[in-house]
Amino acid sequence: MQFHHHGYVTGDPHVLPAAGYGIDRPAELPDEVDVLIVGSGPAGMIAAAQLAQFPGIRTHVVERRAGRLEMGQADGIQARSVETFQAFGFAERITAEAYRITEMAFWKPDPAGPRNIARAAVPPDDPDGISEFPHLIVNQARVLDHFAEVAARAPARVTPDYGLEVTGLTVPETPAEPVAVTLRHTSGPREGTERTVRARYVVGADGAHSAVRQAIGRKPVGDKANHAWGVMDVLAVTDFPDVRTKCAIQSHDGGSILLIPREGGFLARWYVDLGEVPPGEGARVRATTLDEIIARANRILHPYSLDVKDVPWHSVYEVGHRVTDGFDDVPAGLTGTRTPRVFLTGDACHTHSAKAGQGMNVSMQDGWNIAWKLAHVLTGLAPEALLATYSAERQVVAQELIDFDREWSRLMATRPEDLPDPTYLEDFYVKTAEFPCGFMTQYQPSMIVGDAEHQGLATGFPVGKRFKSAPVERVAEGNPAHLGHHARADGRWRVYAFADAAAPAEPSALRDWAHWLGTAPGSPLLRHTPPDGDPDAVLDVKVVYQQDHFGVEFADVPEVFRPRVGPFGLVDHEKVYATDPSHDIFELRGIDRGGAVVVVRPDQYVAAVLPLSARDELSAFLAGALLPQHTPTTPKNA
């Protein structure tokens, strides 16, 4: 973490100085805002945390609850989400309080006595080392607390306005006019009264029964619920030996259980199969009592028993798989003809079972995706056309999630003897591990995703997929580091230059590229940096050399990688990296020894892979994603 470049910081460096709208932020929700986020769930709060980094944007969050969420229904945190938490600065803290999943036990009917269950397999949770980040279990409420802390400590000082729900929303035909949102107070002295807020953009993060979705006429499309599960968080005494291990438990005739140990060492969540829901009997199944759920769990666990002592929360739900027919307010026939003004995220646009642990994780990526795009448009960094990429990207991801979850839910509810072979369930779990970890998403070419023409220069950084970090050494002090972990959720693009083999002081393709980037009038770095901004305000440019840190003298590195930042013009020493000899990033990520440039979006997805010689291509790509901030003639620090 970097600080002090604006002067000595005596307090908590995570608390950034208030700026812009955050200096005199109104205590009451104003009548006009730039972005109104409806809902303070995972999608809404990550959007708030991202937008709060932009002090010139008037961002507000409204939530129908009277206060913070005390107990959430989601708890699975996939590795991609922990990677995201790293960008927002709280991965280590939340990992310390969470339960960590390292393996999953599969229990099935005992061949020697099918009425009993027996342990069949215990595969590792991440057998191929997909990520350096862990798979965690922690209550949704704590995730929201962390994002709320980031938002409140950011320059814009964003905090939710509780006790307000949407009752109406109107998108005017004139683009210059704001969206009118009618809100009703749900608690406090003004309960029942209504008011109208006007917003340039609205983010609907208000759950499966989204009022925002209904207001813009979007509809969920997909399968109706046909299978029910009882879920309970319990404190219990049991002789089941794997109670502190994630388990898929299948009985011969009593259904199945998905067991998720919870944080804190004692609590566990039990998803108990209640069977098929006959037509017209949904209400009856939803009325299943807690005692019935516990009795069903004991039947499945036989010969083991579950003695429940306390139940902080329980529910009954029916599995349904639905994706909304569009993730913004632009009708299909008008896509590309006007700018979307209202966006749907999270459960407002995709619903599914909880078995794959994807709901909260995919929702957070929704919120981050739209938030940085809104920030770039509202601050004049990018054209409005950028906003159309949200629905185009995230609707495809949601459908992939539904397809995966439908199959996983079906397998979990299938009797073992009805599966193709005895190890089919655990084989599916291992084979598809990359998807639930959150790393299968691959965005298609667009204004912010290039083509794969030069993919061979960096095969380990697939264009359109998230930037997979790797170990490196920071040259300034020789410390080991993970290249991707230095990137914060600050809305900046990253440009990683992987050097050719020459030493830093020698003539090389890297030196020529760096000179062009830092001095040429056509340089995208100069074109897209605001006149009053630091040289890395929009494009955070870093270099990785093939030598170890002893082979790189910091003074020999081109100046574009040693920018002067802040009011004192201090040199940033954390943009120059060397290769860790024991974990060669060039080998790990298939980077050509002739060098390469990897461009990464603000939400950590690889946007382009190019050779060091492709200067016009780099300029053209970034010109399509970003607006010019001034006409560059000389380097900013010259």
Per-residue pLDDT of 322-342, as tens digits, reads 889 999 999 877 877 889 999
Short-list 519, 539, 560, 558, CA closest to 622 = 539
Local structure of 333: helix, strand or coil: helix
Residue-wise over 147-168: b if at least 16 C-beta within 10 A, else e?
Answer: bbbbbbbbbbbbbbbbbbbbee
- How many degrees, rounded to 5, is the angle at CA 247 between CA 243 and CA 249? 105
Has residue 435 got a pLDDT over 80? no
Q: 446 vs 426, which has greater pLDDT?
A: 446
Tell me what the pLDDT averaged over the chain comes to: 92
Short-list 77, 211, 58, CA closest to 144 = 77
Q: What is the pLDDT of residue 422?
A: 77
**DSSP per-residue codes, 420-477:** SSTTHHHHHHHHTTTTTTT----PPSBTTB--STTGGGBTTS-TTSB----EEEETTT
Has residue 180 got a pLDDT over 90? yes
User: Which domains does the chain possess?
Assistant: 99-137+223-319 (3.30.9.10), 455-625 (3.40.30.20)
For 178, counting Cβ atoms within 10 Å of its Cβ (0-12 exposed, 13-18 middle, 19+ buried), the class is buried
Residue 631: pLDDT band (50, 70, 90) is low
Has residue 436 got a pLDDT over 70? no
Pairing mode, if any, of strands 564-565 and 570-571? Answer: antiparallel
**Ramachandran angles phi, psi of 410, nearest 5°:** -65, -45
Q: What is the largest CA-CA distance in the chain?
A: 81
For residues 571-576, average pLDDT: 97
Has residue 278 got a pLDDT over 80? no
Local structure of 359: helix, strand or coil: helix
State percent of the chain over pLDDT 90. Answer: 77
Residue 414: pLDDT band (50, 70, 90) is confident
Kindly report the number of other CB atoms within 10 A of residue 25's CB atom: 17
Beta bridge partners of 321: 223
Q: What is the pLDDT of residue 354?
A: 62
Has residue 437 got a pLDDT over 70? no
Provide the phi-psi class of 9: left if phi over 0, else alpha when psi is between -120 and 50, else beta.
Answer: beta
For residues 613-625, average pLDDT: 97
Has residue 78 got a pLDDT over 80? yes
Has residue 24 got a pLDDT over 80? yes
Tokens standing for 443?
């965005």
**Ramachandran angles phi, psi of 356, nearest 5°:** -90, 0
- For 153, 272, 457, 515, 608, the CA distances from 592, given in Å and listed in that order, are 41, 51, 5, 21, 15
**DSSP per-residue codes, 383-436:** -GGGGHHHHHHHHHHHHHHHHHHHHHHHHHTS-GGGSSSTTHHHHHHHHTTTTT
Q: What is this structure's pTM?
A: 0.94
Amino acid at the residue 592? D
Short-list 474, 485, 450, CA closest to 464 = 450
Has residue 415 got a pLDDT over 50? yes
For 422, counting Cβ atoms within 10 Å of its Cβ (0-12 exposed, 13-18 middle, 19+ buried), the class is middle
Short-list 547, 518, 517, CA closest to 612 = 517
**DSSP tag of 30:** P
Are 424 and 485 in contact by the 8 Å Cβ rule? The answer is: no
Helix (H) or strand (E) holding 269: strand 268-276
**DSSP tag of 499:** P
Q: What is the pLDDT of residue 353?
A: 64
